[in-house]
């Protein structure tokens, strides 16, 4: 996976580079010219007097808006928790529409993810220690069995859920979903309203609130560090050393990894439809990473290489293309490609398989549109498809039409 250093790292590197240059050029210093020449020698063909460190042009200072967009964490003492509230009943409605398809109606499902609810008792709520965690024969460790900080649950729902539309819930909806999960675990009553004003009180009812253990060596600055390393300040190596690779035989075994990631944040998976980089030249890595990001945002990479489906009608696809963004792009932006390939199975069936099954079937468009919006399970196996209630109806209609036309 190609990864570009963030703005803060680049700013820090530039500041450190400037500081080192100033200190190295002081009278009597012998390391300054030598340090600069080492950096200059790493850039072939560049005159020594004009050379700059390899990292000098990477990144820029983050804007206040960018910092605010990422600064959403909620700490254990609830610092950072925004004001708001949500009831158990409101959370149940959101859960049924956007969460139950993966986690089960009562948070008990073990089909896609491990269960959220189960394994805790009223005695655990009283003591703050989950007795089943001490049992080697207990079959499953659920979320509520392990959760020691309510802030962790709220923060994770806020930043990462629902799976197919992270960060789409409002603050009040996050409170509501959190309240519903707590109610499923009998931690709060049916008529409870969770808010920023009472969340600290609810923390004192978590079944595993006392399950943490303080590991003193991790906090002691006088002890031996758990990770050993060299604090290089001068004449440091500038070449990265790769110690692991994706084997060639496995590179594209399950479809293009870049097309299977949620399009959230700046990091994308490697474009495994392309050959691996022949070298780790910094410029080549940056260009490959940038191309992967652009491809992930602009289109579904698998569409370009999939052969046409024999006998597929083309009029519907042509009409759809004239109406706005290509349906393939709509499917990619809605994260359909995370589970479905055009002509390859991923988590679910390929679009071509769906087209073959429903070819010529009356009402297929309405049937599939309903499954996209509401989710479903059992038609293609036991792994459920989550609901996609946030996709506009017109986009669903065009995506389904494109699929039934053979995804061409």
Q: Give buried/exposed letters for 312-336 (b at 16+ CB in 10 A, else e).
A: beeebbeebeeeeebbbbbbbbbbb
* DSSP string for 307-362: PPPTT---HHHHHHHHTSS-HHHHHHHTTGGGTB-SSSBSSS--HHHHHHHTTT-T
pLDDT at 390: 81
**Three-class DSSP labels, 8-72:** HHHHHHHHHHHHHHHHHCCCCCCHHHHHHHHHHHCCCCCCHHHCCCCCCCCCCCCCHHHHHHHCC
| Residue-level pLDDT at 55 | 78
Residue 83 — φ and ψ, nearest 5°? -65, 145
171, 74 Cβ separation under 8 angstroms: no
Q: Map out the domains of the chain as residue ranges.
A: 7-50, 85-203, 302-404
What is the Cα–Cα distance from 390 to 177, expressed in whole angstroms? 17
Which residues in the chain come in under a pLDDT of 50? 1-49, 299-321
Burial class (CB within 10 angstroms; exposed 0-12, middle 13-18, buried 19+) of 370 = middle
How many helices (H) and strands (E) would you count in the chain? Answer: 17, 2
CATH superfamily of 85-203: Cytochrome c-like domain (1.10.760.10)
DSSP at 365? H
What is the SS3 assignment for 372? helix
CA distance 118 to 141: 8
Q: What is the CATH number of domain 302-404?
A: 1.10.760.10
Give 267's contacts (C-beta < 8 A, 6+ positions apart). 1, 3
Q: Report pLDDT for 105.
A: 86
| Same topology between domain 85-203 and domain 302-404 | yes
Predicted local confidence at residue 102, as pLDDT: 84
- Per-chain mean pLDDT for the chain: 77
Q: Contact 398/112 with Cβ under 8 angstroms?
A: no
Bin 394: left if φ > 0, else alpha if -120 < ψ < 50, else beta: alpha
> What per-residue confidence (pLDDT) applies to 258?
67
Task: Give pTM, 2 decimals.
Answer: 0.51
């Amino acid at each position: 996976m190609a990864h570009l250093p963030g703005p803060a790292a680049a700013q820090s590197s530039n500041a450190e580079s400037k500081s080192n240059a100033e200190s190295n050029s002081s009278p009597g210093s012998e390391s300054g010219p030598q340090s600069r020449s080492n950096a200059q020698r790493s850039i072939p063909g560049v005159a020594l007097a004009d050379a700059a460190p390899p990292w000098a042009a990477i990144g820029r200072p983050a804007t206040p808006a960018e910092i605010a967009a990422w600064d959403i964490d909620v700490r254990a003492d609830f610092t950072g928790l925004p004001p708001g509230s949500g009831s158990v009943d409101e959370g149940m409605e959101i859960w049924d529409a956007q969460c139950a398809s993966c986690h089960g109606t009562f948070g008990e499902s073990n089909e896609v993810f491990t269960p959220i609810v189960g394994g805790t008792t009223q005695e655990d709520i009283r003591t703050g220690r989950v007795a089943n965690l001490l049992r080697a024969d207990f079959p499953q460790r659920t979320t509520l069995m392990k959760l020691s900080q309510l802030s962790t649950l709220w923060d994770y729902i806020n930043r990462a859920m629902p799976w197919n539309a992270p960060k789409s819930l409002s603050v009040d909806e996050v409170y509501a979903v959190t309240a519903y999960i707590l109610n499923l675990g009998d931690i709060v009553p049916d008529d409870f309203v969770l808010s920023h004003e009472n969340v600290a009180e609810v923390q004192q009812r978590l079944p595993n609130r006392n399950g943490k253990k303080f590991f003193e060596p991790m906090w002691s600055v006088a002890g031996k560090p758990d990770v050993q390393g060299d604090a290089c300040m001068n004449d440091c190596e500038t070449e990265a050393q790769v110690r692991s690779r994706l084997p060639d035989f496995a590179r594209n075994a399950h479809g293009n990894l870049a097309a299977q990631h949620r399009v959230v944040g700046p990091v994308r998976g490697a474009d495994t439809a392309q050959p691996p980089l022949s070298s780790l030249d910094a410029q080549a890595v940056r260009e490959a990473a940038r191309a992967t990001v652009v491809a992930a945002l602009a289109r579904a990479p698998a569409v370009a290489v999939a052969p046409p489906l024999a006998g597929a009608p083309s009029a519907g696809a042509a009409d759809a293309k004239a109406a706005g963004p290509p349906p393939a792009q709509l499917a990619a932006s809605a994260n359909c490609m995370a589970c479905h390939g055009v002509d390859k199975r991923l988590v679910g069936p390929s679009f071509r398989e769906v087209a073959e099954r429903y070819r010529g079937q009356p009402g297929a468009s309405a049937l599939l549109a309903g499954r996209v919006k509401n989710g479903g399970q059992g038609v293609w196996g036991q792994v459920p498809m989550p609901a996609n209630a946030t996709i506009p109806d017109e986009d669903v209609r065009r995506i389904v039409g494109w699929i039934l036309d053979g995804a061409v």
